Amino acid sequence: MDNHWRATAHELHQHFVEGKISAEAVVSSHLQRIAARDGEIGAFLHVNEEGALARAKEQDGWAEGKRADHPLSGVPVAVKDNIVTRGMPTTAGSKILRDFMSPFDAAVIEKLLAAGAIIVGKTNLDEFAMGSSTEHSAWHPTHNPWELSRVPGGSSGGSAAAVAAGLTPLALGSDTGGSIRQPASYCGIVGMKPTYGRVSRYGLIAFASSLDQIGPMARSVEDARLLYEAIEGVDPRDSTSTAAPSATLARGNGPWRIGLPREYFGEGIEPGVRAAMDQALERLRSLGHQLVEISLPHTSYAIATYYLIAPAEASSNLSRYDGVRYGMRVDGHDLVNMYETTRDQGFGAEVKRRILLGTHALSAGYYDAYYLTAQKVRTLIRRDFDQAFGQVDFIVTPTTPDCAFPLGSRDDDPIKMYLGDIFTATANLAGIPGLSMPVGLSEGLPVGLQWLAPPFQESQLFQAAAALEAVLPKLPWPTGVDHE
Amino acid sequence: MNNGYQVIVGLEVHVELKTNSKLFCLCSTQFGASPNSQTCPVCLGMPGVLPVLNQEAIRMAVRSALALHCQVHAFSKFDRKQYFYPDLPKAYQISQYDQPLAEYGWVGIRSGNGETHRIGIRRIHVEEDAGKLNHLGQRLGDATGSLVDLNRAGVPLVEIVSEPDLRSAEEARLYLTELRATLSYLNVSDLRMEEGSMRCDANVSLRPAEYQGELEDLPRVEIKNVNSIRNVQRGIEYEVQRQSERLAQGERIVKETRGFDDATGTTYSQRSKEEANDYRYFPEPDLPPLELEEAWIKNIGDGLPALPEAIREDLASRGIPSKDAEVLVLDREAYEYWCAAADLYEDERTLTNWMLSDVSRLLNARGESFARASVNPPSLVELLRLIDKGTLSGRMAKEVLELMFESGKSAAMVVEEKGLSQITDTEAIRAVVLAVLREHQAVVADYLSGKDKALAFLVGQVMKRTRGQAKPDLVNQLLRDTIAGDRE
Ligand SMILES: [Zn+2]
């Protein structure tokens, strides 16, 4: 069996353009890897075996020029299962969308296909992207390739695990409160959430519309950037997408002023995470960058704010799953009973919990106290970042206070699960881009460092992350799965 | 006042905008297509879809708001109104809640005494329509199933909410008539109540003489979805009577929604508002706020056509009697027909008479409208000119008009084919006059003895011999002159 699955997306594309490898061999290598390893990992919900091979064979017939014109030709990409795809089921990890086939491709899928990407399958997630462990998928949990008894994080846990384990070099995730960055951190890969509005949400099954963004997941900063560049851009079908140009960084290639918010380095960070962070920060200092302590004073309200806004929007977005037009229907003795039994049997516990939270937050008499107040705090959190970016070029934080936790360990404590989003949710609330990259191991588990940048400075974000990546030792392949 | 109670009515009117495509997707808005043929993932509420606002709908809504004297806000936003029903694919309707497109307008109505007063418009907002349910079975209660047709889902609507300024069913009728007439000049809607492109809900309450509180706090009955202006009036009349009877018996009015039964002219309880939905409105996160440039709004205002008030003034200044003017103003097609003809023809009163009597009668009989009349304005004017030239008498012209409607031919062609031309040749008529006088000497004697009717008989005889084609006043003149000449 060829070891193409070990290569980066850049290498695969380059070798394919140069005719050194065939797309079919690349895809076969990954499909075999999926067949061999995904049984224990559970990263995929659907493997697009025939479709991917057919597309690979088609690309093998392309001339060199055509291969080069498609920046992702010859490269497998996995897609989180809350992004709709024609010809493959899209379930969002929910029984209510069992076997659902979308009549259209998401905007990012159109872009991926136009860029030559070969879609190898759909990856697992917490139901409707609600969760931080991928245990809340209606189908099966996903296991962390570093230690199979642990969660890969979530909700893009399938994508993260698949990339980490070499089942695909690239994957799309979606990030509403950290759902790309947190699993990237837990799985030792790079995951990036673009600025709100940078990537079209058309075809992303909505969780919380004002927070959701699709982003890239890869094993290197360069690969993440390759995937990001294929999917970004304004889309007339998404009125919240923006044609903003890339902002330019005041201090170009550096040295940069890097802010360390004191609220993100306080109590509750595991010692191993703190140690890995300290080493990474030392590297940044040794590169000549200036590290300054800053304050984001409204950070402590972020989780409460997030857990009002996100469920409120979710309760509305998920109302369409009513059994009338598509997806699952459980017949009832009348219309209301049909609605109730369909939604009762179709949604899992975590989704129901959030629908209840959100419905309550929007109810007459509670709207002002909850939703409206949360929106006001959101403005304050955004202002915190505006002010901070007046002083610094980037902000660096731990992505999470901890490392991947054991499956089942937070089942009885949703609040603890929610608190895990504390360092990531602020970027969604503020709409700014964030990137998580591995900076070391703590007791054998990856530790992620998060970069935050001002709106529309994705390019600089990649630049900064790549600079740090270059001076850090590369992580080994995950230890929980066989790599021979 | 009604049995000591003041009638308080407010109307909510939904008007479908006749854009080519729906409010948030590119589907057609055409009425009457086969079920669900005009749908797409967006208006079906499929997973992953997003709304994109139709600019033309906003332009039409702004046009409507300005024509109704509203203040159009440069900043408004969309909200989700949430409830479960099978005709609502997303389980929320994208509407505008606390920051509507426009506010503070009015419609002028004239009461019986000819005085005009203003009925306030509280707000105008833009929203999407829901689909339709077709129930299988006799009534909803025993329906064996329901089929959902989502062709209408997502069609743009403006909702026009009046202040509770109306004081009778008649005022409600006048308000709706004037509102519809005003909108008809804007080309923004078909305004067909029977097809649902204009729908009206009426809020009716009675204020006891001693009541000092807010009108909003009076128990209010909403009559839903009545399908004609006439029925809105009937529904309100019935409600006023029903509520005043209840109050007279010392009963309490329940805040509720009632339907209108066309056959009996009564209303019936549909659902009690006390168990009303909580719509959980919140700002639509998929759409940015609607920000309009003042210059763009002004430009739309400057481009408004003449509206009923201005048209009434114009017609009055041109000497058209107000009753005729009213008929023209309230029927945009008639008014446009009139304008096209008046551009070609000076005697506007004669034109108006012909239009509102003969043309109107023939249109009705043939099921035609002024917009698609078999006899267009230039053809009518051509006919009127033949009367003016003396080629046709008024009576002959009526006959010619009828033939024009039937054949689609011009007045000149009809006149020529039928040989209907009026005889204006004095010598030719004089010969007939002489013959008639010779044959009816006794009648001549009657005339000379002062019996005026005798002359009419003689005129009739001449007309008969000329098969009606002699010019009547010429005949009259010749008869008088000849008789008078014979006596000398
Ligand atoms: Zn549509």
The answer to whether residue A423 is domain-embedded is no
Residue B142 pLDDT: 63
B282/A237 touch (CB, cutoff 8 Å), yes or no: no
Bridge partners of residue A203, in order along the sequence:
none
Annotated catalytic residue A295? no
8 Å CB contact between A172 and A93: no
What's chain B's average pLDDT? 91
How many other CB atoms are found less than 10 A from the CB of residue A290? 15
CA distances from A377 to A301, A303, A314, B468 (A): 7, 11, 19, 91
- In chain A, which residues have their Cβ closer than 8 Å to the Cβ of B45? 320, 325
Q: Give the ipTM of the model, two decimals please.
A: 0.96
Report the residue count for chain B. 488
φ and ψ of A26, to 5 deg: -65, -50
Nearest to B48 among A202, A312, A367 (CB): A202
Q: Which helix (H) or strand (E) holds B26?
A: none
**To the nearest whole angstrom, how far is the Cα of B216 from the nearest Cα of chain A?**
19
Q: Residue B160: which of B131, B136, B195, B189 has the closest Cα?
A: B189
- Does the pLDDT value for residue B222 go beyond 90? yes
Annotated catalytic residue A155? yes
- Does the pLDDT value for residue B112 go beyond 80? no
**Among A207-211, A226-230, B111-115, which is the least confidently predicted range?**
B111-115
Annotated catalytic residue A94? no
Sign for the pseudo-dihedral over CA of A207, A208, A209, A213: negative
The answer to whether residue A29 is domain-embedded is yes
Residue B272 pLDDT: 65
Catalytic residue from among A28, A29, A73, A80: A80
- First CA to last CA distance, chain B: 75
8 Å CB contact between A400 and A420: yes
Asked if residue B83 and residue B18 are part of one domain, the reply reads yes
Q: Residue B93: which of B147, B39, B152 has the closest Cα?
A: B152
- Does the pLDDT value for residue B234 go beyond 90? yes
Q: What is the pLDDT of residues A457-470, one digit of tens each?
A: 999 999 999 999 99
**Spacing of C-alpha B456 from chain mean position:** 45
Residue B470 pLDDT: 79
Q: What is the pLDDT of residues A319-375, one digit of tens each?
A: 999 999 999 999 999 999 999 999 999 999 999 999 999 999 999 889 999 999 999
- Does the pLDDT value for residue B302 go beyond 60? yes
The answer to whether residue A234 is domain-embedded is yes
Helices (H), A104-241: 107-114, 157-164, 181-187, 221-231
Q: What is the pLDDT of residues A283-307, one digit of tens each?
A: 999 999 999 999 999 999 999 999 9
Compute, in degrees rounded to 10, the torsion defined by CA atoms A36, A40, A41, A47. Answer: 50
B48/A362 touch (CB, cutoff 8 Å), yes or no: no
Residue B396 pLDDT: 83
At residue B206's C-alpha, the angle toward residues B202 and B212, to 5°, is 125
Is the Cβ of B4 closer than 8 Å to some Cβ of chain A?
A: no
**Among B89-103, B163-177, B275-289, B309-323, which is the least confidently predicted range?**
B275-289
What is the arrangement of strands in the sheet containing B79-82, beginning at the earlier edge strand? Answer: B92-95, B79-82, B282-283
Asked if residue B312 and residue B255 are part of one domain, the reply reads no
Helices (H), B18-54: 41-44
Whole-angstrom distance, CA of residue A344 vs CA of residue B277: 21
- Does the pLDDT value for residue A483 go beyond 60? yes
Using pLDDT thresholds of 50, 70 and 90, give the confidence band for residue B330: very high
Is the Cβ of A127 closer than 8 Å to some Cβ of chain B?
A: no
- Taking the centre of ligand 1 as the mean of its atom positions, its distance from the CA of residue B103, in whole angstroms, is 29
Is the Cβ of B291 closer than 8 Å to some Cβ of chain A?
A: no
What's chain A's average pLDDT? 95
- Taking the centre of ligand 1 as the mean of its atom positions, its distance from the CA of residue A282, in whole angstroms, is 55
The tokens of B269 are what?
Answer: 């309880």
The residue written with tokens 């004089």 in the block is B430
Mean pLDDT of B301-319: 96
The answer to whether residue A425 is domain-embedded is no
8 Å CB contact between A180 and A191: yes
Q: Which helix (H) or strand (E) holds B176?
A: helix B169-184
Strands A76-80 and A170-175: parallel
Q: Residue A238: which of B412, B453, B286 has the closest Cα?
A: B286
Number of domains in chain B: 3
The answer to whether residue A194 is domain-embedded is yes
Report the residue count for chain A. 484
Asked if residue B311 and residue B217 are part of one domain, the reply reads no
How many other CB atoms are found less than 10 A from the CB of residue B241? 14
Whole-angstrom distance, CA of residue B436 vs CA of residue B462: 7
Nearest to B90 among A83, A102, A320 (CB): A320
At residue A251's C-alpha, the angle toward residues A249 and A257, to 5°, is 105
Asked if residue B127 and residue B40 are part of one domain, the reply reads yes
- Domain edge (last residue) among B251, B283, B299: B299
pTM of the model: 0.91
- In chain A, which residues have their Cβ closer than 8 Å to the Cβ of B89? 320, 324-325
Mean pLDDT of A88-108: 98
Residue B488 pLDDT: 54
Asked if residue B209 and residue B129 are part of one domain, the reply reads yes
Residue A468 pLDDT: 97
Using pLDDT thresholds of 50, 70 and 90, give the confidence band for residue A246: low
Q: Residue A34: which of A134, A110, A145, A138 has the closest Cα?
A: A145
Using pLDDT thresholds of 50, 70 and 90, give the confidence band for residue B451: confident
Compute, in degrees rounded to 10, the torsion defined by CA atoms B97, B100, B103, B107. Answer: -80
Range of the domain at B259: 5-299
- Does the pLDDT value for residue A100 go beyond 90? yes
8 Å CB contact between B165 and B10: yes
B91/A320 touch (CB, cutoff 8 Å), yes or no: yes
Return the exposure string of A305-315: e unless at least 16 CB atoms fall within 10 Å of the residue's CB, then b. Answer: bbbbbbbbbbb
Number of domains in chain A: 1
Nearest to B278 among A104, A324, A363 (CB): A363
- Does the pLDDT value for residue B275 go beyond 60? no
Whole-angstrom distance, CA of residue B161 vs CA of residue B222: 13
- Domain edge (last residue) among B299, B326, B358: B299
Residue type, B200: C
**Among A180-184, A328-332, A436-440, B132-136, which is the least confidently predicted range?**
B132-136
- Does the pLDDT value for residue A155 go beyond 80? yes
**Among A192-196, A325-329, A408-412, B469-473, which is the least confidently predicted range?**
B469-473
Asked if residue B443 and residue B412 are part of one domain, the reply reads no
Whole-angstrom distance, CA of residue B320 vs CA of residue B314: 9
The answer to whether residue A399 is domain-embedded is no
Asked if residue B286 and residue B314 are part of one domain, the reply reads no
A123 Cβ neighbours under 8 A, 6+ residues apart: A43, A44, A45, A78, A79, A80, A81, A156, A158, A159, A162, A171
The tokens of B345 are what?
Answer: 């023809």
Using pLDDT thresholds of 50, 70 and 90, give the confidence band for residue B395: confident
A100/B47 touch (CB, cutoff 8 Å), yes or no: yes
CATH of the domain at A11: 3.90.1300.10
Strands A76-80 and A118-123: parallel
8 Å CB contact between A177 and A425: yes
Asked if residue B481 and residue B402 are part of one domain, the reply reads no
Helix (H), strand (E) counts: chain A: 16, 11
The tokens of A94 are what?
Answer: 């929910």
- Does the pLDDT value for residue B332 go beyond 80? yes
**To the nearest whole angstrom, how far is the Cα of B91 from the nearest Cα of chain A?**
5
- In chain B, which residues have their Cβ closer than 8 Å to the Cβ of A326? 46
Helix (H), strand (E) counts: chain B: 17, 16
The DSSP letter of residue B56 is H
Omega before A155 within 30 of 0, i.e. cis? yes
Range of the domain at A171: 4-251+460-469
B139: left (phi over 0), alpha (psi -120 to 50) or beta: beta
Mean pLDDT of B293-298: 97
Asked if residue B118 and residue B197 are part of one domain, the reply reads yes
Residue B273 pLDDT: 54
Is the Cβ of B41 closer than 8 Å to some Cβ of chain A?
A: yes
- In chain A, which residues have their Cβ closer than 8 Å to the Cβ of B86? 322, 324, 335
- Domain edge (last residue) among B383, B418, B453: B418
The answer to whether residue A192 is domain-embedded is yes
pLDDT above 90: percentage of residues in chain A: 92
Q: What is the pLDDT of residues B5-47, one digit of tens each?
A: 999 999 999 999 999 999 999 999 998 899 999 999 999 999 9
- Does the pLDDT value for residue B274 go beyond 70? no
**To the nearest whole angstrom, how far is the Cα of B286 from the nearest Cα of chain A?**
6
**Spacing of C-alpha A385 from chain mean position:** 22
Residue type, B29: T
Whole-angstrom distance, CA of residue A46 vs CA of residue A140: 12
Catalytic residue from among A29, A132, A155, A220: A155
- Does the pLDDT value for residue A415 go beyond 80? no
8 Å CB contact between A408 and A148: no
The answer to whether residue A432 is domain-embedded is no
The DSSP letter of residue A101 is B
A104/B148 touch (CB, cutoff 8 Å), yes or no: no
Asked if residue B466 and residue B400 are part of one domain, the reply reads no
Residue A253 pLDDT: 75
Mean pLDDT of A305-325: 97
Whole-angstrom distance, CA of residue B271 vs CA of residue B367: 40
8 Å CB contact between B369 and B363: yes
Is the Cβ of B287 closer than 8 Å to some Cβ of chain A?
A: yes
> Considering only residues 47 to 106 of chain A, which have any Cβ-Cβ distance to chain B shorter than 8 Å?
83-84, 90, 92, 97, 100, 102-104, 106
The tokens of B257 are what?
Answer: 């929604």
Asked if residue B182 and residue B226 are part of one domain, the reply reads yes
Nearest to B47 among A92, A238, A371 (CB): A92
CATH of the domain at B443: 1.10.10.410
Catalytic residue from among A179, A185, A200, A436: A179
The tokens of B324 are what?
Answer: 């005729």
Asked if residue B66 and residue B18 are part of one domain, the reply reads yes
At residue A283's C-alpha, the angle toward residues A277 and A286, to 5°, is 145
Using pLDDT thresholds of 50, 70 and 90, give the confidence band for residue B3: low
How many other CB atoms are found less than 10 A from the CB of residue A484? 5
B48/A205 touch (CB, cutoff 8 Å), yes or no: yes
- In chain B, which residues have their Cβ closer than 8 Å to the Cβ of A319? 82, 84, 90-92
Residue B139 pLDDT: 60
B288/A97 touch (CB, cutoff 8 Å), yes or no: no
